[in-house]
Chains A and B, each alone.
Chain A
Amino acid sequence: MNIFIPTPLRLYAGGHDAVEVDAQTIAGALDQLTQTHPDLRKHLFTAEGNLRAFVNLYLNDEDVRYLPAKEATPVTAADTLSIIPSIAGGSLSL
């Protein structure tokens, strides 16, 4: 399956906008991605190994957070996984 890499992370993925992996689940796909490109790990995961809160994952058109099996969801070679950091803000200060 193809994993699409957002602009800020391409630097850590050999400059590629997509990386092909051969995995059985979403978690397996992310494992393979970060094994091939270890510098991506700290940008995607916290020190505790959790996906950073601002990183969104979409399996095809579905938000992985709302899939019943979440990152344990099986994948096929025809699926795509998109990594997309959130974008928000506003004039009101925190």
Chain B
Amino acid sequence: MSTLRLPRLVYDAIRAHGQQTFPHECCGVLLGRSTPSGWLVESAIPAGNTRTDSAHNRYQIAPFELIKIERDARNQGLAIAGFYHSHPDHPAHWSSTDFAEAHWLGCSYVITSVEHGKAAVTNSFFLAGLTEEDKRFEPETILVDDQSIGLGHT
């Protein structure tokens, strides 16, 4: 099982983001470095949810916003390590929609359940596999690091 390492500030920020957007889903991008055991995240970049037609149970990040985030990451020597979003009043487990729309193989997908406006459970799933045809979500351990310096931008 892989491990996603999140600085405390980042972990708290993505959970706070879910509370801020409740009852809508929040979403954002995790930037970090790849290690043999999994991603070492350094920052979380909040993104806009373009699914305004159904924001309580859908999210989408505009491709151009993603490109700008990736450009900034590259300039910092970082990579897109994964993504986060919230499930308002819904378990912190991937849905069939999450799976169908997941295309970043080798990246982490973090989901926080937000119950009645309060962040509850946060889980991470690693998108394993080599192609779209054999992709699968694997649960991964979240290691919250109180020592490392991270940037939670929310």
Contacts and interface: CB of A to CB of B under 8 A. Distances in A.
Interface residues of A, number: 26
Nearest to A65: B63
B104 A58 contact: no
Contact of B85 (A58, A89, A93): A89
Contacts of B151: none
A7 B79 contact: yes
A30 interface: no
A61 B64 contact: yes
B97 A93 contact: yes
Interface string A48-72: 0000101010100101000000000
B67 A84 contact: yes
A70 to B, nearest CB: 16
Contacts of B106: 7-8, 11
A76 to B, nearest CB: 19
Interface residues of B, number: 41
B66 interface: yes
A84 B66 contact: yes
A93 B95 contact: yes
A91 B109 CA distance: 13
B138 interface: no
Which A-B residue pairs are the 5 nearest by beta carbons? A90-B58, A89-B98, A92-B57, A88-B60, A91-B90
Interface of A: 4, 6-8, 11, 17, 42-43, 52, 54, 56, 58, 61, 63, 82, 84-94
17 contacts: A6-B80, A11-B106, A43-B132, A54-B101, A56-B63, A61-B64, A63-B64, A82-B70, A84-B70, A86-B63, A86-B101, A87-B29, A88-B58, A89-B59, A89-B101, A90-B25, A93-B95
